[in-house]
Chain A
Amino acid sequence: MVKEEKMIKITDLEKFYRTEEVETVALNRLSLEVKKGEFVAIMGPSGCGKSTLLNIIGMLDDPDGGSYVFNGTEIAHYSERKRADLRKHNIGFVFQSFNLIDELTVFENVELPLIYTGVAAADRVKRVEEVLDKMQIMHRRNHYPQQLSGGQQQRVAIARAVVNKPKLILADEPTGNLDSSNGNEVMELLTDLNEQGTTIVMVTHSEHDARYSHRIIRLLDGHTVVENIMI
Chain B
Amino acid sequence: MFKNYLKIAWRNLLKNKGFTFINIAGLTIGMASAALILLWVQNEVSYDQFHEKKDRLYTMYNKAVFDGNLWCWNTTPKIMAKTLKADYPQVEDATHTNECTFLFTVGDKKMMERGYFTDQSFINMFSFPLVNGERKSALVDNSSIVLTEKLAKKLFGSNEAAMGKTVKIDSNANFTVTAVMQDLPNNTRFRFGYLLPWTYMKKVGWDDEYWGNNSVQTYALLKPGVSLATANARIKNITKSHSDQKDTEVFLHPAEKWRLYSKFENGVNTGGRISTVRLFAIIAGLILLIACINFMNLSTARSEKRAKEVGIRKVAGAPRELLIGQFLAESILIALFAGLLALVIVQLSLSGFSQLTGKALFLPYSSIDFWILFIGFILLTGIIAGSYPAFYLSSFKPIKVLKGTFKAANALVAPRKVLVVIQFTIAIALIICTIIIKSQLQHGQSRDTGYKRDNLVYSYISGDMGKHYNAIRNDMLASGAVSGITKTSAPITEGWSDSWGYSWAGKDPNEKLDFNVFNVDGDFTKTIGLKIVDGRDIDIVKYPTDSLAMLLNEAAVKIMKFKNPVGQIVNNGNTKWHIVGVVKDFILQSPYEPVRPMIIQGPSSWFNIVHYKLNPVRSTAANLKSIEQIFKKYNPDYPFEYTFVDEDYAKKFAEEQRIGTLATLFAGLTVFISCLGLFGLATYMAQNRIKEIGVRKVLGASVARITRLLSIDFLKLVIISFIVAAPLAWWGMTEWLKGYTYRIDISIWVFIGAGVISILIALATISYQAIKAAIANPVKSLRSE
Q: Which A residues are within 8 Å of any B CB, using their own CB?
A: 51, 55, 58, 60-61, 81, 84-85, 87-89, 93, 95, 97, 99-104, 108, 112-113, 115-117, 160, 164
A117 and B398 CA atoms in complex are apart in Å by 18
Chain A residue at minimum C-beta to C-beta distance from B398: A60
Cα(A60)–Cα(B313), bound, Å: 12
Chain A residue nearest to B12 (CB atoms) is: A103
Q: Is the CB of A103 within 8 A of B322?
A: no
User: Contact mask B311-333 → A, CB, 8 Å, 1/0?
Assistant: 11111111100100000000000
Known: A60-B399, A61-B399, A116-B316. A103 touches B4 (CB 8 A): no
Smallest Cβ-Cβ distance to B3: which chain A residue = A121
| C-alpha spacing A60/B398, complex, angstroms | 7
Residue numbers in B under 8 Å from A87 (CB-CB): 315, 317
CB-defined A-B contacts under 8 Å, sample of 29: A58-B315, A60-B315, A60-B397, A81-B319, A84-B314, A84-B319, A85-B319, A87-B317, A88-B316, A88-B317, A89-B317, A99-B308, A99-B311, A99-B312, A99-B315, A99-B402, A101-B308, A101-B312, A102-B309, A103-B8, A103-B11, A103-B15, A103-B309, A104-B7, A115-B1, A116-B313, A116-B318, A116-B322, A117-B317
**Chain A contacts of B398 at CB under 8 A?**
60
Minimum C-beta distance from B5 to chain A (A): 10
**Bound complex: CA A58 to CA B315 (Å):** 9
In the assembled complex, the Cα of A4 lies from the Cα of B375 at a distance in Å of 56
Judge whether B4 and A108 touch: CB under 8 Å. yes
CB-based contact A51/B403 at 8 Å: yes
- Is B317 touching A101 in the complex (CB atoms < 8 A)? no
Shortest B405–chain A CB gap in Å is 10
Residue numbers of B with Cβ under 8 A of A are 1, 4, 7-8, 11-12, 15, 308-309, 311-319, 322, 397-399, 402-404
Query: Is chain B's interface secondary structure helix, strand, loop, or mixed overall?
Result: helix
Most buried by B among A81, A100, A103: A103
The residue in chain B whose Cβ has the minimal distance to the Cβ of A97 is: B404
A-B contact count (CB 8 A): 61
Q: How far is the CB of B391 from chain A (nearest CB, A)?
A: 15
B11: chain A residues within 8 A (beta carbon): 103-104
Which of chain B's residues have a CB closer than 8 A to the CB of A93? 315
In contact, B8 and A101 (Cβ under 8 angstroms): yes
Q: Closest 10 A-B residue pairs measured CB to CB?
A: A88-B317, A116-B317, A103-B11, A113-B316, A112-B316, A60-B399, A55-B399, A116-B318, A101-B309, A99-B312
The interface residues of chain B lying within 8 Å CB-to-CB of A113 are 316-317
Given A55-B399, A97-B404, A104-B11, 9 extra CB contacts under 8 A: A51-B403, A97-B402, A99-B308, A99-B311, A103-B11, A104-B8, A113-B316, A116-B317, A116-B318
Q: CA–CA, A84 to B316, complex, Å?
A: 9
With the chains together, A61 CA to B398 CA distance in Å?
9
How far apart are A147's CB and chain B's nearest CB, in angstroms? 14
Q: How far is the CA of A117 from the CA of B316 in the complex (A)?
A: 9
For residue A6, give the distance in angstroms from its CB to the closest CB of chain B.
24
Interfacial chain B residues near A112, Cβ < 8 Å: 4, 312-313, 316
A54 nearest in chain B by CB position: B399
B308 partner residues in chain A, CB cutoff 8 A: 99, 101
Write the nearest CB–CB distance from A59 to chain B, whole angstroms: 10
Specify which chain A residues have a CB less than 8 angstroms from the CB of B4 in the assembled complex: 108, 112, 115
For B402, give its contact among A88, A95, A160, A164 (CB under 8 Å). Answer: A95
Which residue of the partner chain B has the closest CB to A55?
B399
Bound: A115/B322 CA distance, A: 11
B16 → chain A closest CB, angstroms: 10
Give bound CA distance, A228 to B91, whole Å: 102
Most A Cβ at <10 Å: residue of B8, B313, B402: B402
Set of chain A residues within 8 Å of B12, measured between Cβ atoms = 103
Complex Cα distance, B7 from A103, in Å, reads: 9
Inside 8 A of A60's CB, which chain B residues have their CB? 315, 397-399
> Which residues of the other chain, A, contact B7 by a CB distance below 8 angstroms?
104, 108
B residues in contact with A95, CB < 8 Å: 402
The closest CB in chain B to the CB of A101 belongs to B309
Cα of A103 to Cα of B312 in the assembled complex, Å: 12
Q: How far is the CB of B6 from chain A (nearest CB, A)?
A: 12
Residues of B within 8 A of A117 (CB): 317
* Nearest chain B CB to A47 CB, angstrom units: 13
Bound together, the chains give a CA A93 to CA B313 distance in angstroms of 12
Q: B317 touching A84 by the CB < 8 A rule?
A: yes
Contacts of B319 in A (CB 8 A): 81, 84-85, 116
A123-B15 Cα distance, complex, nearest whole Å: 30
A61 to B314, CA, bound (A): 12
Q: How far is the CA of A97 from the CA of B404 in the complex (A)?
A: 9
Using CB atoms, name the residue of chain B closest to A115. Answer: B1
Closest B residue to A170 by CB, please name it.
Answer: B315
- Shortest CB-to-CB span from B403 to chain A, Å, is 7
CB distance from A62 to the nearest CB of B (A): 11
Q: With a CB–CB cut-off of 8 A, which chain B residues contact A84?
A: 314, 317, 319
- A100/B403 contact (C-beta < 8 A), A88-B317, A116-B317, A116-B322 known: no
Q: What chain A residues lie within 8 Å of B1 (beta carbons)?
A: 115
Docked CA distance A95–B398 (Å): 12
Chain B residue at smallest Cβ distance from A157: B312
Nearest-neighbour CB distance to chain B for A16, whole angstroms, equals 15
Shortest CB-to-CB span from B404 to chain A, Å, is 7
Q: Kindly provide the distance from the CB of B632 to the nearest chain A CB, expressed in whole angstroms.
A: 78
Instruction: Give bound CA distance, A95 to B399, whole Å.
Output: 11
